[in-house]
């Protein structure tokens, strides 16, 4: 097992799930991430390696380092949690298979040892995540998935272009940090699109809420994989500090004006990813370890919050604040478990922002900006969502009963969240991860909780300004969503008209040609001319054509 790439296990899992009958699929789904998790904890180490030769190129499919084992472990945990969460849901087979294939392609990127392997799995990840969204079963799934595909094809093309340009200059596809050359900037653009960095972030808040209830749990992979690639290829790029800081602040404030719980959480995914991007930009060993620790814990808490919101959507049939209210009593366990994730996220976000890893390297100004974003996170996920969803005016909704498997998955994630919030080091040693977590512990928890509490109380006082309203909130996706109809009118419609005209012309010609020449079959049936004569005529024609070709060809 020490030389089997985790992506193979996940893809094999997808094939097995597809082949099995319906009632076994939910359980079979759990096998692949469980094996990968066991593989990461017990069998893979920094000596694990697998390369293959293909068309003169060496592709490294498995290479383990102290960072990708962190990402891999938490990805396997989330896949396992997502599998348990959706165990009793009557999910479509293609959703389960694409979730495993998507996880497999994310593992492919993480454990790749060269740029070529990364880009192959990067593109596969775009396709499988698109399938996960398009099969979301929500009214807006298809349109959102098409916009998602458009953005990710553009991002993938930029990344591929950057890699090929870089390989042309250096003659190597080795996995090493890029220089600040045009090739490096092009590749960075592609990766930043996947990392949802401003202004390329709006695909996430547009598409993720349109995925299925379980689908959104898995969709953590795209941004976190992009953060891993940023860490490998662009550590210490100053532009990432600026881009990440602005993204985290922008997304935090934007989450306050959203009406859909899953969209609020989507913005709260963008915000910490921006923070991790800023940490990568700092580039110090301390900051990079901070990125790994932050990515690990954030994926756990994010999935818990997404599961909470998904459970509300499953039970109530809607995730809009304007249509929800009074659910604290009927969904009391969901409320408590959701709150564990939200509070943990808020406290970690605050702790990490005021922690020494940032303030040492970049000074007080950056710490203040990022702490501001973290405080707004508290307002959005700890105050606003619980207030309107669980304590708002009851809407008389008829609630569906929530399957036990959903509670089990959320309880597991909540247990890990509490452990991580109080003693993250314990969690890392449990999974044998080699990174250090310095700024977490009881003392740090008290620090973060104290700061979070006052921000929460202030948030409660300003809630009347943040009354939810139904509608569309304009974001940077405005540019391509508004450009879409113009492009359609200017390019697609004339092209379609040209194709239609050609098609009509061909159909008309097919109708008219038989009138010009009588059917040979009919002629043969009438006895004029005999079959032998007709055959001779055909053979003579062939001979004439062959002679002509020979004469011209010389």
Partner 1 sequence: MITRMTELRERLERRGKWALPAAALAAAAVVEIALEILYETTAGDREGGLISTPLFWAAFGAVTVAAAAALAHLAVRAGLLRGRGYYGGDEEEEQVEEEERVER
Residue 40 CB neighbours (<10 A): 27
Nearer to partner 1, 232 or 319 (CB): 319
Nearer to partner 1, 175 or 358 (CB): 358
Nearer to partner 1, 187 or 339 (CB): 339
What CA–CA distance (Å, rounded) separates 5 from 182?
33
Nearer to partner 1, 11 or 324 (CB): 324
Nearer to partner 1, 108 or 468 (CB): 468
Verify binding: residue 372, partner 1, rule CB under 8 A.
Answer: yes
Residue 367 beta carbon to partner 1: minimum distance, rounded to whole angstroms: 9
Residue 454 beta carbon to partner 1: minimum distance, rounded to whole angstroms: 4
Nearer to partner 1, 180 or 446 (CB): 446
Helix intervals (H) in 256-327 = 261-282, 285-316
Residue 450, helix vs strand vs coil: helix
Contacts of 291 (CB under 8 A, 6+ apart): 227, 231, 276, 279, 280
Candidates 371, 389, 410, 420: give the one binding partner 1 (CB under 8 A): 371
Candidates 242, 328, 408, 411: give the one binding partner 1 (CB under 8 A): 328
Residue 471 beta carbon to partner 1: minimum distance, rounded to whole angstroms: 5
Query: Residues 124, 144: contact at Cβ < 8 Å?
Result: no
Closest among 322, 264, 262 to 141, alpha carbons compared? 262
Closest among 294, 295, 285, 173 to 224, alpha carbons compared? 295
Q: Tokens for 366?
A: 């950056």
What mask, x for binding partner 1 by CB under 8 A, covers residues 438 to 477?
---xxx--xx-xxxxxxx-xxxxxxx-xx--xxxxxx---
Residue 290 CB neighbours (<10 A): 27
Crossing angle between the packed helical segments 238-255 and 356-377, to the nearest 10 degrees: 20
Residue 391 beta carbon to partner 1: minimum distance, rounded to whole angstroms: 8
Query: Residues 82, 217: contact at Cβ < 8 Å?
Result: yes
Residue 267 beta carbon to partner 1: minimum distance, rounded to whole angstroms: 11
What mask, x for binding partner 1 by CB under 8 A, covers residues 245 to 284?
-------xx--xx---------------------------
* Residues contacting partner 1: total by CB under 8 A: 56
Region near partner 1 per CB under 8 A, out of 43-51, 268-276, 296-304, 375-383 = 375-383
Closest among 419, 294, 424 to 349, alpha carbons compared? 294
Residue 49, helix vs strand vs coil: strand
Within residues 296-325, the interface with partner 1 by CB under 8 A covers: 317-318
Within residues 45-64, the interface with partner 1 by CB under 8 A covers: none
What CA–CA distance (Å, rounded) separates 339 from 360?
31
Query: Residues 20, 28: contact at Cβ < 8 Å?
Result: yes
Question: In 451-486, which positions are buried (b, 16+ CB within 10 angstroms) versus exposed (e)?
Answer: bbeebbeebeeeeeebebeeeeeebebeeebeeeee
Verify binding: residue 436, partner 1, rule CB under 8 A.
Answer: no
Nearer to partner 1, 400 or 522 (CB): 400
Within residues 129-148, the interface with partner 1 by CB under 8 A covers: 139-140, 143
Within residues 378-407, the interface with partner 1 by CB under 8 A covers: 378-379, 397-398
Residue 261 beta carbon to partner 1: minimum distance, rounded to whole angstroms: 16
Residue 492 beta carbon to partner 1: minimum distance, rounded to whole angstroms: 14
Query: Residues 217, 306: contact at Cβ < 8 Å?
Result: yes
Residue 375 beta carbon to partner 1: minimum distance, rounded to whole angstroms: 4
Task: State the sign of the Cα–Cα–Cα–Cα dihedral 146, 147, 152, 153.
Answer: positive
Verify binding: residue 418, partner 1, rule CB under 8 A.
Answer: no
Verify binding: residue 209, partner 1, rule CB under 8 A.
Answer: no
Nearer to partner 1, 457 or 547 (CB): 457
Crossing angle between the packed helical segments 6-19 and 68-85, to the nearest 10 degrees: 20
Verify binding: residue 485, partner 1, rule CB under 8 A.
Answer: yes
Measure the CA angle with vertex 294, ends 289 and 296; round to 5°.
100
Nearer to partner 1, 43 or 479 (CB): 479
- φ/ψ of 34, rounded to 5, equals -65, -40
Burial of 397 (0-12, 13-18, 19+ CB in 10 A): middle
Burial of 94 (0-12, 13-18, 19+ CB in 10 A): middle
What CA–CA distance (Å, rounded) separates 134 from 152?
14
Residue 213 beta carbon to partner 1: minimum distance, rounded to whole angstroms: 14
- φ/ψ of 433, rounded to 5, equals -95, 140
Verify binding: residue 376, partner 1, rule CB under 8 A.
Answer: yes
Residue 523 beta carbon to partner 1: minimum distance, rounded to whole angstroms: 54
Nearer to partner 1, 214 or 259 (CB): 259
Nearer to partner 1, 106 or 321 (CB): 321
Nearer to partner 1, 442 or 552 (CB): 442
Residue 421 beta carbon to partner 1: minimum distance, rounded to whole angstroms: 14
Verify binding: residue 360, partner 1, rule CB under 8 A.
Answer: no
- Binding residues vs partner 1 (CB under 8 A): 139-140, 143, 252-253, 256-257, 317-318, 328-329, 332, 335, 350, 354, 364, 368, 371-372, 374-376, 378-379, 397-398, 441-443, 446-447, 449-455, 457-463, 465-466, 469-474, 481-482, 485
């Amino acid at each position: 097992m020490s030389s089997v790439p985790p992506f193979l296990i996940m893809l094999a899992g997808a094939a097995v799930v597809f082949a099995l009958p319906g009632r076994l699929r939910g359980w079979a789904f759990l096998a692949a991430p469980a094996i990968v998790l066991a593989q990461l904890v017990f069998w893979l180490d920094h000596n694990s390696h697998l390369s293959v030769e293909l068309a003169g190129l060496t592709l490294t499919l498995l290479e383990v380092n102290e960072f990708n084992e962190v990402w891999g472990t938490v990805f396997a945990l989330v896949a396992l949690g997502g599998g348990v969460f959706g165990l009793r849901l009557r999910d479509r087979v293609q959703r389960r298979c694409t979730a495993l294939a998507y996880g497999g392609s994310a593992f492919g990127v993480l454990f790749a040892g060269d740029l070529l392997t990364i880009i192959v799995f990067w593109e596969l990840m775009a396709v499988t995540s698109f399938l996960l969204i398009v099969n979301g079963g929500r009214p807006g799934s298809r349109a959102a998935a098409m916009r998602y595909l458009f953005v990710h094809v553009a991002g993938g093309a930029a990344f591929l272009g950057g890699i090929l340009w870089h390989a042309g200059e250096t003659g190597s596809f080795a996995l090493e940090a890029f220089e600040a050359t045009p090739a490096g900037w092009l590749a960075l653009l592609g990766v930043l699109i996947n990392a949802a960095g401003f202004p390329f972030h709006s695909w996430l808040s547009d598409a993720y809420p349109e995925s299925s209830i379980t689908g959104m749990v898995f969709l953590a992979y795209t941004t976190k994989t992009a953060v891993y690639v940023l860490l490998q290829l662009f550590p210490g790029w100053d532009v990432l500090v600026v881009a990440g800081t602005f993204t985290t602040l922008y997304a935090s404030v934007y989450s306050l004006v959203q009406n859909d719980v899953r969209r609020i959480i989507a913005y709260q995914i963008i915000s910490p990813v921006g923070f991790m991007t800023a940490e990568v930009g700092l580039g110090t060993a301390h900051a990079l370890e901070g990125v790994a620790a932050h990515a690990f814990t954030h994926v756990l808490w994010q999935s818990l919050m997404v599961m909470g919101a998904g459970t509300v959507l499953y039970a109530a049939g809607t995730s809009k604040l304007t249509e929800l209210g009074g659910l604290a009593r009927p969904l009391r366990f969901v409320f408590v478990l959701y709150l564990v994730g939200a509070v943990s996220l808020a406290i970690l976000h605050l702790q990490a922002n005021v922690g020494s890893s940032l303030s040492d390297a970049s000074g007080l100004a950056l710490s203040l900006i990022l702490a501001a974003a973290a405080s707004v996170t508290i307002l959005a996920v700890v105050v606003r969502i619980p207030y309107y969803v669980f304590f708002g005016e009851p809407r008389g909704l008829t609630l569906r009963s929530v399957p036990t498997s959903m509670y089990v998955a959320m309880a597991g994630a909540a247990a890990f969240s509490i452990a991580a919030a109080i003693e993250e080091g314990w969690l890392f040693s449990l999974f044998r991860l080699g990174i250090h977590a310095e700024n977490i512990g009881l003392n740090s928890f008290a620090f973060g909780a104290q700061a979070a509490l006052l921000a929460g109380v202030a948030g409660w006082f300003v809630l009347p300004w943040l009354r939810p309203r139904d509608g569309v909130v304009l974001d940077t996706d405005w540019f391509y969503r508004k450009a879409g109809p113009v492009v359609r009118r200017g390019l697609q419609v004339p092209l379609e008209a040209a194709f239609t005209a050609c098609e009509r012309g061909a159909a008309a010609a097919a109708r008219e040609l038989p009138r010009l020449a009588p059917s040979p079959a009919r002629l043969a049936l009438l006895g004029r001319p005999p079959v032998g004569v007709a055959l001779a005529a055909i053979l003579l024609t062939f001979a004439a054509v062959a002679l002509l070709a020979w004469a011209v060809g010389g």
